[in-house]
A and B are shown apart, each in its own frame.
Chain A
Amino acid sequence: MIRLENVNKIFHQGTVNENHAIRNVNLQIKEGDFITIIGSNGAGKSTLFNLIAGTYAPSTGNIFLNNSDVTNEPEYKRAKYIGRIFQNPSLGTASNMTLEDNMMICSRKGFKGLKISLNKKTREYFKKELLLLDMDLENRLTDNVQLLSGGQRQSLTLLMMVLSRPQLILLDEHTAALDPKNAAKVLDLTQKFVSEYGLTTVMITHNMGHAIEYGNRMLMMDKGEIIFDVSGEEKKKLSVKNLVDKFHEIRKTEFQNDETLLSR
């Protein structure tokens, strides 16, 4: 459903600050996939998301969505099919507006006209949806979102994102800013929505345990490359320990390669 072909992203090309953030990435995401991505800081995980979402275009290579080339399509157009949650809970909601206003804006993607859609019926619908969160938010429809806690805001963002049933959702460490209890709750909700609505999902995480536990495929990224790609049965057998070993193994070989290059 999404296909990246030989995608490269180079920031500040031709300057001393040149940064080759994504190197020759080829990736195919199939419908119904739940992919987790791990990797150290600066590995290019968020850059990869920005390229898929269309925040910026790749330096070279192409991106296809449902077999049509979307490489140069702006972010807001791609957003009609792609939902995205950021690490920062405040990026997903308008804090000085009420819960119901926020939900209204998110319930349907694309340009909005002069219709007044927020009425009794939609309020009932929002209340029913908010019940799924089990956070007592259904009684706070007219409260400003800034009054909610980080965990509540992130859960609300998740709920609002699935309201429009996007084809692909990108989760960029969406539980990293939350305390362990709330993080677990948001992750549970994520799993629930993903399986309930059959959403194709890509999730970046720093938690190797989560990376193994969730999803049917896992990617490990380092220095702009996908260095390890595992799925299905093989993924289920992984443990945090042999994942770390695997990481060192791959890095070591790479290191040796560098050495041979330098000695030449």
Chain B
Amino acid sequence: MIEGILVEGLIYSIMVLGVFITFRILDFPDLTVDGSFPLGAVIGAQVIISGMPVSLGLLAAFTGGGIAGGITAVIHNKLKVPNLLAGILTMTMLYSVNIRILGNRANVPLLHNKTVITGIHSISEGLMKTEYATLIFFIIFVYIIKKLLDLFFHTDLGLTLGAMGNNEQMIISQGVNPEILKIIGLALSNGLVALSGALAAQYLGFADVSMGIGIIVSGLASVMIGEFIFKSNKIAVLTLSAVIGSIIFKGIMYFARIYGYAVRMTPNDLKLITGLMIIVLLILSKTKIFKRKKGLE
């Protein structure tokens, strides 16, 4: 049970890192995520089904998500549409695109194909329990991604991205085109989201075009839970808090699913719970700031 929560939390934490980049670093609320998550799932699935290596599937998913994010940024940049609308446009279009990629189907099972999970199982066979092997694999995998992100946000380009989210005028004054930065940031974010989608599909054993519904809200909830625990201006701590927030979120969802029956809750109520959780977190963070301000005065 606990390994299940941890593994799921780690897989979804890659998506949470993507949401963290757009919402917190770029200050660009990007709803493309609801479309790029299943995009990654269906691209990964199709590559695996056609018999190509799993790693290629993950790479293709990352690239596909990156392109989707880039499209949102270009719509926002060139047509001067608000960022929310640009994201909704791409997300809606992706729904049809995803069904196309799956060959006019809404879902495909991956139970009899070689996936990341079967790969781990074949390597770890006889050495340890497969659940633990999966957990160890994903801890290492997410750790590498987190480290790479930390490194990226320490580069000159990464710093500039961070500054753009805070003060776009400053970036323009430094001779940098903010449109290009938005494309880079959204591509990176949605690439991570799609990668997470591909891994989730392989872990769950199917790819479904509707598996992205509400993903953005759960991602945001995870980011906020993480922020509630850690407060820092260091990127390494912030990315860590996003990962931990994702695991805690999955834990809460798990218990809501298991013990929710006691109060006649069904899995269909989980989205409502997620939304309510965000509202509660917002209220809590507001009062916290309120208290702190009071203390200062």
Contact = CB atoms under 8 A, between A and B. Distances in A.
Interface of A: 74-77, 79-80, 83-84, 86, 90-98, 101-102, 104-106, 109-118, 144, 164
A111 B178 CA distance: 10
A112 B159 contact: yes
B268 interface: no
A93 B164 CA distance: 10
B52 interface: no
Interface of B: 151-152, 154-157, 159-160, 162-163, 166-167, 169-178, 180, 233
Contact of A101 (B159, B175, B180): B159
27 contacts: A76-B171, A76-B172, A76-B175, A76-B177, A79-B172, A84-B173, A86-B169, A91-B169, A93-B167, A94-B167, A97-B163, A98-B233, A105-B159, A105-B160, A105-B170, A105-B171, A109-B174, A109-B175, A110-B174, A113-B155, A113-B156, A114-B156, A115-B155, A115-B156, A116-B155, A117-B156, A118-B156
B232 to A, nearest CB: 10
Contacts, number: 88
Contact of B157 (A101, A113, A144): A113
Question: Top 8 closest A-B pairs, CB basis?
Answer: A112-B156, A109-B175, A94-B163, A94-B166, A80-B175, A79-B175, A110-B175, A114-B155
B6 to A, nearest CB: 31
A163 B31 CA distance: 38
Given A94-B167, A98-B233, A75 B172 contact: yes
A76 to B, nearest CB: 5
Contacts of B178: 76
Contact of B174 (A95, A105, A144): A105
A113 B154 CA distance: 11
A112 B176 contact: yes
A84 B175 CA distance: 11
A112 B170 contact: no
Contacts of A76: 171-172, 175-178
A118 B154 contact: yes
Q: How would you classify the secondary structure of chain A's contact residues: helix, strand, loop or mixed?
A: loop
Nearest to A88: B169
A94 B162 contact: yes
Nearest to B181: A111
Contacts of A115: 155-156
B166 to A, nearest CB: 4
Contacts of A96: 166, 233
Given A106-B174, A112-B160, A164-B174, 4 more contacts: A83-B173, A94-B170, A98-B233, A144-B233
Contacts of B160: 105, 112
A26 to B, nearest CB: 26
Q: Which of A74, A79, A90 has the most CB of B within 10 A?
A: A79
A232 to B, nearest CB: 31
Contacts of A104: 156, 159
A93 to B, nearest CB: 7
Contacts of A98: 233
A160 to B, nearest CB: 9
Given A93-B167, A98-B233, A111 B152 contact: no
A46 B154 CA distance: 35
B163 A102 contact: yes
Contacts of B169: 86, 91
A114 B170 CA distance: 20
A92 B170 contact: yes
A118 B155 CA distance: 8
A94 B169 CA distance: 10
A118 to B, nearest CB: 7
Contact of A97 (B151, B157, B166, B172): B166
A96 B233 CA distance: 7
A114 B176 CA distance: 14
A151 B162 CA distance: 24
Contacts of B177: 74, 76, 111
B294 to A, nearest CB: 19
Given A96-B233, A116-B156, A105 B173 contact: no
Contacts of A106: 174
Contacts of A118: 154, 156, 159
A77 B163 contact: no
A80 to B, nearest CB: 4
